[in-house]
Amino acid sequence: MNFLNLLFPAKRGVGAVTKCCRATCSSFFHSSTESSVEVHSEEQEVVIALGSNVGDRLHNFNEALLLMKKSGINITRHGCLYETEPVYVTDQPRFLNSAVRGVTKLGPHELLGILKKIEKDMGRTVGIRYGPRPIDLDILFYGRFRIHSEILTVPHERIWERPFVLAPLLDLMGSAVESDTVVCWHSFSGQPNGLFEMWEKLGGESLIGKEGMKRVLPLGDRLWDWSEKTSVMGILNLTPDSFSDGGKFQSVDAAISQVHLMISEGADMIDIGAQSTRPNAARISAEEELERLIPVLEAIQKMPEMERKLISVDTFYSKVASEAVSKGAHIVNDVSAGSLDPDMYRVVAALKVPYIAMHMRADPSTMQNEENLKYDDVCKQVASELYSRVKDAELSGIPAWRIIIDPGIGFSKKTKHNLDILLGLSTIRKEIASKSLAVSHAPMLIGPSRKRFLGEICNRPSAAERDPATVASISTGVLEGANIVRVHNVRDNIDAVKLCDSMLIRRRSCR
């Protein structure tokens, strides 16, 4: 087969030389033949790296993504967010780095011009090479082409020596082969097993979490490295009919007292829910949910002990999410992962807050129906169904670096399924990794607290009697890789989490 046909098949629409777009191409099988070609296809898949270390770095990323979208670059995937030490010129602030994958009709040099204009419009000036900059946008890959001109080299020539570029680049892929284009990107590395082998040679996952490079998620006004310790989320139910504590905290005073208790016991976050999602729960309107929620949320915001603590709103209504965030909530926790409100993804994308996407089939009133409880392999199917929702969220503008995943213990699950999930969190991550490494790296939340399956196993019909079993399930989940645990009883579970974290640290130090 002619190498040009291999690298640039007819469906990509490569034609004769014209002034529109010139690219020097060479076979990734090291052929010495060269030819100038023009890209005629309607769209090309591209990878663009982002970096910033001047001003509000996250705002700079958001602004750059918006300007790229307006310029004809349709973003389809986002890498994780990394905070990194500067290289080459080290006397400057720490960087945020990531990468995005998208499609565009722009030619490679036209694309370069657009990115340089965005950099200039956002305040980047000619200065020290590798020095401080509000935004840095580099083309890492353009379709399956090698490009070498006076102003553009693709693949980017320094990919292979920069962990802060290679890590988010790999995040944009899955561990399973996705397309001919991705295979080509791997081949450009010059390594037998492609980019993954290059990443391992640099140090791989052992680089993450060390002083020079952290994987982070924006939470409020800070960047959260969730590898440092497991976070405890205290549950505050404002509903009259929740399965564990319905009706206990409907008054503002009672709610405030409970929050004070959970914070004093060590909770990192408070998750406020004003809509019951227990099995067979009747749905209330967004307006009624807000009537319950907002007075309590406003009162909690005024509590001095809530400084540096985080508030999550447990809702599947976009209207409630929007109003709660405007009143100070930091996180949207959606048990439906967007399936119960078609506006949820768009609204959360605009709010620019972390989004907890949970696995559930149907809705709370029908989730335990027999047809929703059938699994051949619960961990694999939960991973596949949850990733499908997250993929839609990402296409709607919620970056992977704002996603938190929740396998939905107790939602559309039988007792055996809940046990399989607790023992199989790493399997769920592995299955998601086959489709998206970025999503597989996301923080994982589990919420087995006081749920019915614990009562069935331990013969505890009363939810209040299930705290010892909750501690056991939480401990199992943390040792299996959970990063956030959602609990009613903070005091007992925070001790369990501290012990598990110490065990994990000890395990890593012994390797």
Catalytic residues: 451, 486
Nearest to 217 by CA among 49, 12, 398: 398
CA distance 318 to 127: 44
Q: Which residues contact 10 (CB under 8 A, 6 or more apart)?
A: none
The CA–CA distances, whole Å, from 465 to 471, 475, 483 equal 12, 18, 25
The CA–CA distances, whole Å, from 383 to 72, 379, 476 equal 32, 6, 19
Q: How many CB atoms lie within 10 A of CB 337?
A: 25
Q: How many CB atoms lie within 10 A of CB 485?
A: 28
> Residues 271, 362, 390, 183: is their CA dihedral positive or negative?
positive
> Residues 352, 353, 358, 364: is their CA dihedral positive or negative?
negative
Phi-psi region of 33 (alpha: psi -120 to 50; beta: other; left: phi over 0): beta
Residue 364: HSE in the Cβ half-sphere, 13 Å Cα cutoff = 17
CA distance 449 to 246: 14
Strand partners, 249: none
Residue 204: both structure tokens together: 């791989």
DSSP-derived 3-state class of residue 352: coil
Amino acid identity, position 253: D
The CA–CA distances, whole Å, from 351 to 100, 321, 355 equal 20, 9, 10
The CA–CA distances, whole Å, from 239 to 107, 189, 461 equal 55, 56, 20
Residue 335: both structure tokens together: 């048990």
The bridge status of strand 231-237 relative to strand 310-314 is: unpaired
The CA–CA distances, whole Å, from 262 to 258, 376, 448 equal 6, 39, 18
Q: Which helix (H) or strand (E) holds 446?
A: strand 445-446
- The radius of gyration of the chain's CA atoms, rounded to the nearest angstrom, is 24
CA distance 6 to 10: 9
Phi-psi region of 466 (alpha: psi -120 to 50; beta: other; left: phi over 0): alpha
Ranges of H-type helices in 354-487: 378-395, 415-423, 425-433, 437-440, 452-458, 467-479
